[in-house]
Copies of this chain bind each other. A is one copy, B any other.
Amino acid sequence: MNPSRLPEHVEGYGPVRAFDGVRPPPDVVSRAAVRTTPCASGRDKLLPDIDAVFAACNIRDGATLSFHHHLRNGDQLLNQVLAVAARRGLRDLTIAASSIFPVHAPLVEHMRTGVVRRLTTAYMSGPVAEAVSRGVLATPAVMTTHGGRARAIEAGEVHIDAAFIAAPAADRHGNASGAEGRAACGPLGYAMVDARHAERVIVVTDELRVAPPTPLDIHQDDVDFVVRIDSIGDPAGILSGTTRPTTEPVGLRIAEAAADVISASGLLREGFSFQTGAGGVSIAAAMFVRERMLRDGVVGSFCAGGVTAAQVAMLDEGLFSNLYDVQCFDPKAVDSYRRDPRHLAMSASMYANPNSRGPLVERLDAMLLGAAEVDLDFNVNVTTGSDGLILGGSGGHADTAAGAKLAIVTTRLTAGGRPKIVERTRCLTTPGATIDAVVTEVGVAVHPSRQELRDRLLRAGMDVVTIEGLLARARALVPEGIEGPPEDSARVVAVVEYRDGRVTDVVRSTPSRRSMVRVGLSQ
């Protein structure tokens, strides 16, 4: 939003194409050519271990390895693969992971020793995020959106040498599903894109079956090798965000206000479509929306996203006819995917790729979003905390905000003694032009371009305030205000890309250790 703040070139990243406003996609794009290796007749795809994969795929220094995060904070595959890479003496790898969680802490050491030189991901939290923030990685991390990652892979901007797919169940030919198995995690939506576009595709499973698990998320004709290991991860780690509605009064007030905004917007009518994250406020808001749908006899079309038990319940009640699911957030969602054909898998490209022939995010009526900070231009930061350290990233935040007719940010005025409404976000993740309303415990601010929405909320008797008013209220609560941004001279440790690849911001290194503020965000 302030392109002048961006450097024109970032060492280790290249020239910066600055974000300068939301634009429609190009008229024509190209899905890149992919080199693949036919599987000669009779060749057995099953390899004894991950080490054998490195030999079979001829993975060398500088290769790009991709991973997906359906097991979230329970994933163990990335760590196991990189341990093998380190043992084999590999250097300068690029890790293209859809998200990074605290469980991936061992990656820090691989960054430090030079096994890993580059990292591109849509979200990171925990030790890796802190290490990146402090400059441990040799090059700036590239922080994409979920849709932007799919776009970049399809366009060939990110060339994956080997995609590692953690499959809760698979057969020895590579047919795999996230619906079955000990570590069942739901549709492997992010991995679907990697499987179609990586030069080598390796399915790693801890439940090797004779018959293919169903529904098939990954098909044998996209898979080079299959490996059985003891454990791909801990399915309990899928539940790494809040998946219950908040019971806390301020959170409930915000949730109800968000539902009021949706009601007042006029969108809560037949065919309504809806997405929320997995946070407690979002789920509470979904429950309020549910009540209104039941009360008014509204039958919606679909819920999308990361799917939780809340959406499954609404599907089961007939409030929606379908779920479109790129990843599950809890076991009830996994179970629904396994048993209910109306619960549809979608790839990350179908979900959010802005250059696809129709991403689902563009069919969303309402989207509930979290925020670490919101500024006077309605810009949202979900990438860094008030201490300057990386605490997340867009995930699908910027994608759904751009796509939804009504993108609502729910946030408290302050958290952890810091204001969340600020003059200017420390980091620009999601452009304010794609945000329609900011819902707080003291009122709703509507983006100035949405006068008609503002009028609707006023007619509905809601507390409509200005964003400046919210800033003033936040400052009154934590009068010290926000700290200044880091020096422009500090090294760039991460480049934040909008879904189309333009750069919205950079993150500069934070050398000293300060307390980290975390917010519960879904990615």
**A-to-B contact residues, CB < 8 Å:** 24-42, 45, 156, 173-174, 201, 210-212, 214-216, 219-224, 271, 301-302, 321-322, 341-342, 344, 346-347, 349-350, 353-360, 362-363, 402-403
Contact = CB atoms under 8 A, between A and B. Distances in A.
Given A33-B33, A34-B31, A221 B344 contact: no
B350 A219 contact: yes
A350 B175 CA distance: 11
Contact of A38 (B222, B224, B302, B357): B357
A210 to B, nearest CB: 7
Contacts of A353: 221
A210 B273 CA distance: 12
A27 B37 contact: yes
A38 B522 CA distance: 27
B28 A40 contact: no
Contacts of A39: 356-358, 362
Given A216-B344, A322-B212, A30 B33 contact: yes
Contacts of A220: 350, 357-358, 360
Contacts of A42: 362
Given A27-B38, A29-B38, A30-B35, 12 more contacts: A30-B33, A38-B357, A39-B362, A42-B362, A173-B363, A220-B357, A220-B360, A221-B349, A221-B353, A221-B358, A222-B357, A223-B357
Contacts of A346: 219
Contacts of A302: 211
B24 A362 contact: no
Which of A220, A358, A403 has the most B CB atoms < 10 Å from its CB? A358
Contacts of A173: 358, 363
A202 to B, nearest CB: 11
A24 B347 CA distance: 32
A26 to B, nearest CB: 7
A161 to B, nearest CB: 13
Contacts of A219: 346-347, 350
B344 A38 contact: no
A142 to B, nearest CB: 22
Nearest to A225: B357
26 contacts: A24-B38, A30-B36, A31-B34, A31-B35, A33-B33, A33-B156, A36-B355, A36-B356, A36-B357, A38-B356, A39-B356, A41-B403, A173-B358, A173-B363, A201-B357, A211-B321, A211-B342, A214-B341, A215-B341, A219-B346, A219-B347, A220-B350, A221-B358, A221-B360, A223-B357, A341-B341
Nearest to A339: B341
A271 to B, nearest CB: 7
A30 B34 contact: yes
Given A220-B350, A221-B353, A355-B38, A322 B28 contact: no
Given A30-B36, A42-B362, A357 B221 contact: yes
A357 B174 contact: yes
A210 B301 contact: yes
Contacts of A216: 344
A224 B29 CA distance: 13
A355 B31 CA distance: 19
A35 B201 CA distance: 24
A354 B403 CA distance: 40
A360 to B, nearest CB: 7
Contacts of A156: 33
B28 A41 contact: no
Nearest to A197: B31
A198 to B, nearest CB: 11
